[in-house]
Structure 1
Amino acid sequence: MRTGNKFTNAVVTGACGGFGRALARQLLEGGATVALVGLNRAVLEELHNAHPQRSRIYTPDVSDSAAMQACAADWMAAHGTPDLVIANAGVAGGYATAEAADLAFFRRALEINLLGVPTTFQPFMAAMLAAGRGALVGVASIAGWRGLPGNGAYCASKAGLIAYLQSLRAELRPSGLSVSTVSPGYLRTALTAGNRFAMPGLMEPEQAAATLLRRVAAGAEQIVLPRRVGWLSRALDLLPETLHDRILLAQPRKPRPGEPGSTPVPGLTNDNKN
């Protein structure tokens, strides 16, 4: 349940990344009981060891339905129905359609960034619907608003996620459950550390986490982090397509998986630390 603006039972996927770790830490420090879902057990153990009575560690692939259902069953048997589920797990990387090897990354981006969200929500839905309360949060991206050169896999996965969350929000309006779409711009995390292009409005994950939790508690359906980057993106969309593309093409491309500055992708590399 929630007391005022305070969530008390939360599930956070991607809890070992910069943004997810900040979300989990702030929830735990605020007194919530938190399911820590991620692949880097060492990071999750740091969070768990600080609050061992109010957290559990889970390390599934978020696109694996059976694994996520097992996590949800274990969590709810121990701690009951969550009032907050944040589907934050995600991967990023550059993409080149002409490169056959990049198709494997495209597939994993869709599996984790898009399919991973309903696969995270589904095991908790029946209990949350029965309770008639709770917040479902999907972390999309401003990159889902418009395709960016050299970033087609990530943009497509986040655009699909935004559409999915719109559909789910409409379905659940009579139910008492809320659905929030979060569209970050650039957060200072491992996923942006290798970016070689300008990142206007770069935001610290702790600030972004605090804003997200406050606005979800207030019932916000659309959350842009930070807001001014959303305004900039919308302003650029007013330009003619050819001029917009020319501006974007002048920026360096995001590193493709395996290139210097790229981050590992679970299921695509041997280093599952995201």
Structure 2
Amino acid sequence: MAHPLDNLVITGACGGLGRALASAALARGAKVSKVALVGLDRGVLETLAASAPQRCAIYTPDVSDGAAMQAMAGDWMARFGVPDAVIANAGVAGGFDTAQAADLAVFRRMLEINLLGVAATFQPFVQPMRERGHGVLVGIASIAGRRGMPGNGAYCASKGGLIRYLQSLRAELRGSGLTVCTVSPGYLRTQLTAGNQFLMPGLMGPETAAEAILQALAKGREQLVLPRRVGWLSNLLELLPEAWHDAILLRQPRKPRPGEAGATAIPGLGAAAPGGAASAADSPTETIAR
């Protein structure tokens, strides 16, 4: 069954996969007539919107702030109508060490953005979509959500929790006309993986991933692993005894923790971050449509 994709809401649209999704959607012209660009870097969003200013609106809320996300959704639907698909793509990544007290703030913030942020993104749209009778809710999870990885416990926990949340939501919405799609990318060539020193099999460009996701959504897919061979590899590794699996992973370098060389900033972490450095996105954000 084909699904319309004429009205999209995309979070995390400032970079990586989110930016690629927004660019690909806007490039389709009449096929995707309206796109809500949600992110923290207004300058990047304005550059994206410049290609189709009449078909875009820019919003800069913290995705974990339910009230801000409700305001964003209300403004978008008042101006452009109920979206056909909401793509909850905003996410952060970083190494984590349970022995370090400062890293507990990293864990909390990662759960707020990667897990709570998805629910806060979906919540304002569920009832309007249900009343209309169709819509797609898309959660960008990760292959890392399938299995814990040494030094990456916070990210794996957030994405594993997201996969289970999406499963629950999918079951709740059966028969309503709404589709819930879980996208589990492997490694994408983005800022989140730029500092990784470990093996990244199946490394994929975000533009290729974005096209595959939009095609899958149009077809009504509920599950998508990118690239497919990484999903097969993950399934094969799951057949190994736990000790063997751990031994393989322990040979790989750890993902950089916030504050370490190669780490990416986590918005909202602020002075609680290891090293005490606040990111540029820590300043208060506002919800504005233009």
- The TM-score with structure 2 as length reference comes to 0.92
Q: Counterparts in 2 of 1:39-54, with a 5 A limit?
A: 39-54=40-55
Paired residue for 2:83? 82
| SS of residue in 2 equivalent to 1:20 | helix
User: Which amino acid in the other structure matches residue 15 of structure 1?
Assistant: A
Is 1:17 the counterpart of 2:18? The answer is no
Structure 1 unpaired stretches of 5+: none
Aligned partner of 2:212 in structure 1 is 211
| CA contact 1:5–1:214 (8 Å) conserved in 2 | no
Counterpart Cα distance in 2 of 1:77 and 1:24: 21
Tell me the residue number matched to 1:271: 280
Listed as ranges, the matches of 1:1-274 within 5 Å are 6-31=4-29, 32=32, 33-268=34-269, 269-272=278-281
Cα deviations by residue, 1:234-266 (Å, 9 ceiling, x for unpaired): 111111110110000000000001100000000
Give the TM-score normalised by the residue count of structure 1. Answer: 0.97
Aligned counterparts of 1:142 and 1:131: Cα–Cα separation in 2:
33
Query: What is the distance in 2 between the residues matched to 1:171 and 1:123?
Result: 16
Question: How far did 1:50 drift?
Answer: 1.0
1:271 is displaced (CA, Å) by 2.0
Q: Secondary structure at the match of 2:173?
A: helix
Paired residue secondary structure (1:7) = coil
**Unaligned segments of structure 2, at least 5 residues:** 270-277, 283-290
SS of residue matched to 2:10: strand
Q: How far off is 1:118 after superposition?
A: 0.8
Structure 1 moving runs of 4+ over 3 Å: none
Distance 1:179 1:54 in 2: 25
Q: Do the aligned residues in 2 keep the contact of 1:60 with 1:68 (CA within 8 Å)?
A: yes
- What's the RMSD between the two structures over aligned residues? 1.2
1:5 Cα deviation after fit = 5.5
**Distance in 1 separating the partners of 2:215 and 2:58:** 25
Counterpart CA distance in 1 for 2:180 and 2:139 is: 8
Q: Distance in 2 between matches of 1:240 and 1:129?
A: 44
- Distance in 2 of aligned mates of 1:226 and 1:166: 21
CA contact (8 A) 1:140 1:184 kept: yes
1:11 touches 1:35 (CA, 8 Å); kept in 2?
A: yes
In the aligned structure 1, how far is the partner of 2:174 from the partner of 2:279? 42
- Distance (whole Å) between structure 1 residues aligned to residue 60 and residue 217 of structure 2: 25
**Offset, 1:270:** 2.5
Residue identity (%): 69
User: Equivalent residue of 1:173, what SS?
Assistant: coil
For the Cα contact (< 8 Å) 2:3–2:220, is it kept in 1?
A: no
Specify the SS of the correspondent of 1:10: strand
The answer for the alignment partner of 2:273 in structure 1 is none
